[in-house]
């Protein structure tokens, strides 16, 4: 399973990259705003800065909601770097844009997926990735991981090549559950990735190994 980090924070992206397990980055307009990145030029150069750090796909989201606007924005975004994947919302105009980009060989990530039907449409339109938001579904007492499983089954039944990118990951158990059901990618915060490495018995064991070494070498 690929690990993407879901942030526009350059420090966190560097940290995850240096850990050696990072396969890409996802961003969205809210994450950009959280970092204080506003205005088209600043946003475009921030995408470039992200691309310069990582070796992998970087999702950059369009903010137009009409077909022409999405196409115009997407074509500008892919000019920034070969790593850019155009992130398109799951709306009617977005489905048309997915088809357009897929015919042009431009990679896409269909975002704001909350149902299997939406994922099926995105795959039929040729999306490279679909992003079902599991945390936001869990927030409303709906089974986010169950949706990932359902989409994987549908894609396998018909051999769709669209990759399932589990988004809105909130904690390490989400990551493990995504891996169990076979998500192609998960995107989440650095904290969730770092929590994967923690275990109290690891800390206790290491403390003892180091203490025993110190005894024998003092
Ligand atoms: C997906 O690419 C989105 O950026 C993201 O995962 C949304 O997550 P949130 O629900 O934590 O905002």
pLDDT level of residue 12 (50, 70, 90 thresholds): very high
* Predicted local confidence at residue 218, as pLDDT: 79
How many CB atoms lie under 10 A from the CB of residue 124?
14
**Is 87 part of the annotated catalytic residue set?**
yes
DSSP for 38-75, please give it. -SHHHHHHHHHHHHHH-SSEEEEE----SHHHHHHHHH
- Average pLDDT of 86-97? 98
Neighbours of 96 (CB within 10 A): 16
pTM tops 0.85, yes or no = yes
Question: In angstroms, rounded to a whole number, what is the distance separating the alpha carbons of residues 91 and 70?
Answer: 11
Decide: 163 in ligand 1 pocket, CB within 6 A. Answer: no
Of the residues 83, 87, 99, 124, which is catalytic?
A: 87
At residue 191 the predicted structure's pLDDT band, cuts being 50, 70 and 90, is very high
């Amino acid at each position: 399973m690929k690990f993407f980090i879901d942030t526009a924070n350059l420090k966190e992206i560097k940290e995850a990259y240096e850990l050696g397990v990072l396969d890409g980055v996802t961003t969205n307009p809210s994450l950009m705003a959280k970092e204080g990145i506003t205005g088209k030029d600043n946003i475009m150069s921030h995408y470039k800065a992200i691309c310069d750090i990582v070796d992998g796909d970087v999702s950059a989201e369009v903010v137009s909601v009409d077909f022409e606007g999405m196409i115009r924005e997407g074509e500008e975004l892919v000019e920034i770097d070969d790593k850019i994947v155009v992130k398109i919302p799951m709306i009617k105009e977005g489905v048309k844009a997915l088809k357009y980009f897929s015919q042009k060989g431009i990679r896409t990530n269909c975002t704001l997926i909350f149902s299997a039907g939406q994922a099926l449409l995105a795959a039929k339109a040729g999306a490279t990735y679909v992003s079902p938001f599991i945390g936001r579904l869990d927030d409303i007492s709906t089974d986010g991981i169950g949706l990932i499983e359902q989409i994987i089954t549908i894609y396998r039944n018909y051999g769709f090549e669209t990759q399932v990118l589990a988004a809105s990951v909130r904690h390490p158990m989400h990551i493990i559950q995504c891996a169990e059901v076979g998500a192609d990618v998960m995107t989440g915060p650095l904290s969730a990735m770092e929590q994967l490495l923690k275990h109290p018995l690891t800390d206790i064991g290491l403390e003892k190994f180091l203490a025993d070494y110190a005894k024998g070498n003092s």
